C-alpha cells in the first residue's frame, strides 16, 4: 500500500504565486509570514504527516476505538502521535499569541489541516474539533473563561467538542431538550443526552471541554430559546489544575462506516456543572462561529482525502500493465496510456487542485475579513466567505466522494480490496457530506439565506467580480480560450440567480427544489474563477522548462473543456422547476 505524500509544490504555488499570502498578510498588518517561513511550516507538516500519522491510518481503521467503563481508548500509536503533535506545536499554529499560539494565517493553517487530513482523517479530526472549540470560546466566552481554558487548549493539553445533536433534534435544533438550571454560585446544572459527538471521550488529553446547547427554564420555544454552555469533563481550579470529575460520561460509541479511529460518542450530562457562554438564549448564534469554522475545515479535510486517493490511483496506473493501447505493438501496456484511465485521473487532478485553490482562497478571505485596515475590504471579504463556505464544504465533500470512488475504479477489483487503501478513503470521506449540516442544508443556506434573502445582491457582486476578471483575460489572445467558457458560465449564473429570486416569491418550493444543483452550479463558478486565475499565474511560465506549470495549464484546459460543460445540464435541471419534484403522483404515500 502506498502511503500519503504531502503535495508541497502545489501548496507553495497556491499560497505564494496564486494567493500571494505574504503580501496579503502584510496588508493586514502581519509582515512576519514570509514565503520561507511558510515553506518551513509546510515541510514540517509533511514530514509529520508522512512519518508519524499516515502509518497509523490503516491500523487505526482496523482496530477502531474501544469503550470500557465510560473510558474510550484510541488505537495503538495514537497517544504517542498526539504527544508528538502537541510537542511540535501543531495545536497552537493558528491560536492567538496571548494564549501561547503562533498566530499563522488561516490559509496556512488550513494547508496544514489538509495535509494532516489526507494522511489520517480520523486522527486529524481530534485536534480539528478542538481548534474549532478554541475559536468559539475565544469569540464568545467571558474573559475569565478565556483566561482559564484557552491557553490549555492552545497547548493541546485540553481538547474540545461541540454538543448539539439529540436523538429527536438533528438539523432542527429548535427541538432540543437538554436543560440548564441556574445555581446560586452562577454556574448551571446541565442535564440531557447528546449524540454523534466527535471526540466526546478519548485518552489523548487530560481534559475535554464540551460546548453544549441547552435550554434555560424560562427559555422561549424553538431556536430563540437556546443557550450555550461550557461543560468540562474535569472541573478545573482557578490556576488550571484539575479538581473533580464532572457529571458527564460517554454512554456509547457509534460503530460507523468509516473513521473508525475517531470516537463518535453519546454523551450523557447528569446535572453536570457548566458555565454560560455569551448571552442567554443567544446560544445558536454563538455556536455558528464554531459551525462555520468546521464547515470550511471539513471541506478541506475532504480535499486531503481526495488527494490521498488520487496519489494511489496515479501510482497504480503507472505500474499496472493491462490491455494494449491503440497503436501499440506490446503484448500489454501501462493502464495510464488508456484514454479512459487518463480521463479518470485528470478528472481527479482537476478537482483536487481546483478545490484546494478555492478552499485556501476562502481561508485567506477569513483573515482579510478580520484584519484588513480597509473597512470596505473587510466587508467584501466577509460577504465572499459567507458564499464560499457552503460551497467548499458541500462541493468539496461531494466531489471527494466521487473522486475516491473514481480512484477505486482505476484500481478495478483491487480497489475493492482493503490492502489497496482506497476503500478506506471511500468509507472515511463519506461522512463529510453529513458533517456540520448535511450538504442539502448547505445548499439551502447558500440559495435561501445568501442569494434569495438579499435579492441576489451578494451573488451578483461575486458574478461581477468573476466577469470582470474573465473579460480582461478574454481580451488577450493567449488566454481567450480559457476565459470564454468562464464568461459564458458567469452570464448563466447571473440569469438563473435572478430567475430564482423572482420565482421564490410565487413558489414556496422553488428554492428547495433548485438548491442542490444551484450549489454545484455556484461551485463551478467559483472553481472556474480560480482556474482562470491559475492560468493567469502560469501562462508566461508554461514554456519555462518546469513541467509543473505546463501541467497546470493543461489541467486548466481539461477542467474548462471537459468538466465545466456539466453546468449546462445543471441549468436545465434548475429550470425544470419544483412541479415535477412535488408532484404527488410521483411519490405516493406509503400508507
Q: Residue 438: its pLDDT value, please? A: 93
Q: Report the sign of the C-alpha dihedral through residues 342, 347, 351, 354, in that order.
A: positive
Query: What is the overall mean pLDDT for the chain?
Result: 95
pLDDT higher than threshold 70 for residue 247? yes
DSSP 395-459: HHHHHHHHHHHHHHHHHGGGGGSGGGSHHHHHHHHGGGGTTTS-HHHHHHIIIIIIIITTTTHHH
Output DSSP code: residue 338. S
With vertex at residue 315, the alpha carbon angle to CA 309 and CA 321, rounded to the nearest 5 degrees, is 125
Instruction: For residues 556 and 531, give the distance between their C-alpha atoms in angstroms, rounded to a whole number.
Output: 6
Instruction: For residues 425 and 303, give the distance between their C-alpha atoms in angstroms, rounded to a whole number.
Output: 11
Instruction: For residues 532 and 550, give the distance between their C-alpha atoms in angstroms, rounded to a whole number.
Output: 15
278 within domain boundaries = no
260 within domain boundaries = no
Range of the domain at 551: 438-579
Residues present in the chain in total:
591
The total of other beta-carbon atoms located within 10 Å of residue 352's CB is 29
Q: Measuring CA to CA, which residue among 176, 194, 191, 179 is closest to residue 251?
A: 194
Output DSSP code: residue 445. I
CA-based end-to-end distance of the chain: 50
552 within domain boundaries = yes
Q: Which residues lie closer than 8 Å to 403 by C-beta, 6 or more apart?
A: 306, 309, 310, 347, 348, 351, 352
How sure is the predictor about 10, in pLDDT bands with cuts at 50, 70 and 90? very high
The total of other beta-carbon atoms located within 10 Å of residue 420's CB is 22
pLDDT higher than threshold 90 for residue 217? yes
Q: Average of pLDDT values for 205-210?
A: 97
Instruction: For residues 359 and 99, give the distance between their C-alpha atoms in angstroms, rounded to a whole number.
Output: 27
DSSP 494-523: HHHHHHHHHHHHH-TTHHHHHHHHHHHHHH
Instruction: For residues 173 and 170, give the distance between their C-alpha atoms in angstroms, rounded to a whole number.
Output: 6
| R_g over Cα of the chain | 24
Q: Residue 259: its pLDDT value, please? A: 97
What tens digit of pLDDT does each residue of 273-331 get?
999 999 999 998 988 899 899 999 999 999 999 999 999 999 999 999 999 999 999 99
pLDDT higher than threshold 80 for residue 171? no
Alpha carbons within 13 angstroms on the beta-carbon side of residue 61 total 22
Strand partners for 73:
66
pLDDT higher than threshold 90 for residue 32? no
Q: Residue 590: its pLDDT value, please? A: 65
Burial group, residue 438, by CB count within 10 angstroms (0-12, 13-18, 19+): middle
Q: To which residue does cell 445555581 refer?
A: 183
497 within domain boundaries = yes
562 within domain boundaries = yes
Strand partners for 229:
212, 276
- Of the candidates 114, 201, 423, 436, the residue annotated as catalytic is 436
What tens digit of pLDDT does each residue of 58-101 get?
999 999 999 998 899 999 999 999 999 999 999 999 999 999 99
User: In the chain, how many domains are there?
Assistant: 1
pLDDT higher than threshold 60 for residue 1? no
Strand partners for 135:
none
Instruction: For residues 165 and 193, give the distance between their C-alpha atoms in angstroms, rounded to a whole number.
Output: 9
Q: Measuring CA to CA, which residue among 261, 277, 274, 160 is closest to residue 207?
A: 160
Cβ contact 74:263 at 8 Å: yes
pLDDT over 90, % of the chain: 91
Strand partners for 214:
227
Instruction: For residues 36 and 15, give the distance between their C-alpha atoms in angstroms, rounded to a whole number.
Output: 12
Q: In the numeric block, which cell numbers belong to residue 561? A: 473543456
Burial group, residue 326, by CB count within 10 angstroms (0-12, 13-18, 19+): exposed
Q: Report the sign of the C-alpha dihedral through residues 4, 302, 79, 242, in that order.
A: positive
Cβ contact 537:487 at 8 Å: no
Q: Which residues lie closer than 8 Å to 189 by C-beta, 6 or more apart?
A: 180, 181, 183, 271, 272, 273, 274
Q: In the numeric block, which cell numbers belong to residue 398? A: 461531494
Distance of CA 217 to the CA centre of its chain: 36
Q: Residue 514: its pLDDT value, please? A: 96
b/e burial code for range 68-81 (CB count within 10 A of at least 16 → b): eeeebbbbebbeeb
Cβ contact 582:513 at 8 Å: yes
With vertex at residue 262, the alpha carbon angle to CA 149 and CA 77, rounded to the nearest 5 degrees, is 90
Output DSSP code: residue 2. P
Strand 188-198 relative to strand 207-214, pairing: unpaired
Least confident range from 6-10, 17-21, 375-379, 541-545: namely 541-545
Q: Which residue has the higher pLDDT, 3 or 126?
A: 126
Q: Residue 71: its pLDDT value, please? A: 92
Q: Residue 542: its pLDDT value, please? A: 80
pTM comes to: 0.96
243 within domain boundaries = no
503 within domain boundaries = yes
List C-alpha distances in Å: 561 to 350, 380, 528.
11, 31, 11
Q: To which residue does cell 452562577 refer?
A: 186
Q: Residue 357: its pLDDT value, please? A: 98
Q: Residue 187: its pLDDT value, please? A: 97
Cβ contact 227:283 at 8 Å: yes
Q: Average of pLDDT values for 401-410?
A: 98
Q: Measuring CA to CA, which residue among 137, 530, 551, 151 is closest to residue 363?
A: 530
The verdict on whether 436 is a catalytic residue reads yes
Q: Residue 591: its pLDDT value, please? A: 57
523 within domain boundaries = yes
What tens digit of pLDDT does each residue of 487-522 get?
999 999 999 999 999 999 999 999 999 999 999 999
Amino acid at each position: 500500500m502506498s502511503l500519503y505524500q504531502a503535495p508541497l509544490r502545489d501548496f507553495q504555488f497556491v499560497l505564494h504565486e496564486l494567493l500571494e499570502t505574504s503580501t496579503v498578510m502584510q496588508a493586514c498588518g502581519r509582515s512576519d509570514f514570509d514565503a520561507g517561513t511558510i515553506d518551513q511550516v509546510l515541510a514540517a507538516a509533511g514530514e509529520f504527516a508522512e512519518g508519524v500519522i499516515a502509518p497509523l491510518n490503516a491500523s487505526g481503521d482496523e482496530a477502531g476505538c474501544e469503550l470500557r467503563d465510560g473510558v474510550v481508548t484510541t488505537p495503538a500509536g495514537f497517544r504517542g502521535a498526539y504527544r508528538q503533535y502537541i510537542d511540535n506545536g501543531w495545536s497552537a499554529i493558528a491560536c492567538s499569541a496571548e494564549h501561547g499560539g503562533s498566530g499563522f494565517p488561516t490559509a496556512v493553517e488550513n494547508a496544514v489541516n489538509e495535509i494532516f487530513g489526507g494522511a489520517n482523517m480520523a486522527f486529524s479530526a481530534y485536534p480539528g474539533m478542538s481548534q474549532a472549540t478554541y475559536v468559539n470560546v475565544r469569540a464568545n466566552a467571558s474573559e475569565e473563561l478565556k483566561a482559564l481554558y484557552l491557553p490549555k487548549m492552545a497547548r493541546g493539553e485540553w481538547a474540545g467538542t461541540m454538543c448539539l445533536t439529540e436523538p429527536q433534534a438533528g438539523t432542527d435544533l429548535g427541538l432540543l431538550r437538554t436543560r440548564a438550571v441556574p445555581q446560586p454560585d452562577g454556574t448551571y446544572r446541565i442535564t440531557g443526552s447528546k449524540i454523534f459527538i466527535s471526540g466526546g471521550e478519548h485518552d489523548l488529553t487530560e481534559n475535554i471541554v464540551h460546548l453544549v446547547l441547552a435550554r434555560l427554564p424560562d427559555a422561549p420555544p424553538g431556536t430563540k430559546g437556546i443557550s450555550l454552555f461550557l461543560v468540562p469533563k474535569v472541573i478545573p481550579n482557578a490556576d488550571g489544575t484539575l479538581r473533580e470529575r464532572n457529571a458527564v460520561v460517554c454512554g456509547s460509541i457509534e460503530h460507523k462506516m468509516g473513521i473508525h479511529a475517531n470516537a463518535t460518542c453519546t454523551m450523557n450530562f447528569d446535572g453536570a456543572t457548566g458555565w454560560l457562554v455569551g448571552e442567554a438564549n443567544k446560544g445558536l448564534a454563538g455556536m455558528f462561529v464554531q459551525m462555520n469554522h468546521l464547515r470550511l475545515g471539513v471541506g478541506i479535510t475532504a480535499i486531503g482525502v481526495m488527494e490521498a486517493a488520487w496519489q494511489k490511483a496515479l501510482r497504480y496506473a503507472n505500474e499496472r500493465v493491462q490491455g494494449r493501447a491503440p497503436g501499440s505493438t506490446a503484448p500489454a501496456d501501462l493502464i495510464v496510456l488508456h484514454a479512459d484511465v487518463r480521463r479518470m485521473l485528470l478528472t481527479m487532478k482537476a478537482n483536487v487542485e481546483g478545490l484546494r485553490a478555492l478552499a485556501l482562497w476562502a481561508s485567506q478571505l477569513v483573515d482579510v475579513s478580520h484584519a484588513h485596515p480597509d473597512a470596505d475590504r473587510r466587508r467584501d471579504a466577509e460577504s465572499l466567505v459567507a458564499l464560499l463556505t457552503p460551497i467548499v464544504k458541500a462541493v468539496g465533500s461531494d466531489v471527494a466522494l466521487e473522486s475516491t470512488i473514481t480512484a477505486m475504479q482505476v484500481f478495478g477489483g483491487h480497489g475493492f480490496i482493503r490492502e489497496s487503501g482506497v476503500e478506506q478513503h471511500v468509507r472515511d470521506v463519506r461522512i463529510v457530506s453529513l458533517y456540520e449540516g448535511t450538504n442539502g442544508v448547505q445548499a439551502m443556506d447558500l440559495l435561501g439565506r445568501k442569494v434569495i434573502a438579499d435579492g441576489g445582491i451578494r451573488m451578483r457582486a461575486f458574478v461581477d467580480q468573476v466577469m470582470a476578471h474573465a473579460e480582461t483575460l478574454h481580451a488577450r489572445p493567449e488566454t481567450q480560450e480559457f476565459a470564454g467558457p468562464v464568461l459564458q458560465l458567469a452570464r448563466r449564473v447571473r440569469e438563473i440567480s435572478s430567475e430564482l429570486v423572482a420565482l421564490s416569491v410565487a413558489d414556496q418550493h422553488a428554492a428547495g427544489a433548485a438548491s442542490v444543483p444551484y450549489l454545484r452550479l455556484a461551485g463551478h463558478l467559483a472553481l472556474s474563477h480560480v482556474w482562470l486565475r491559475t492560468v493567469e499565474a502560469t501562462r508566461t511560465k508554461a514554456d519555462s522548462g518546469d513541467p509543473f506549470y505546463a501541467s497546470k495549464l493543461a489541467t486548466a484546459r481539461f477542467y474548462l473543456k471537459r468538466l465545466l460543460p456539466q453546468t449546462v445540464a445543471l441549468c436545465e435541471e434548475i429550470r425544470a422547476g419544483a412541479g415535477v419534484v412535488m408532484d404527488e403522483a410521483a411519490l405516493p404515500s406509503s400508507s
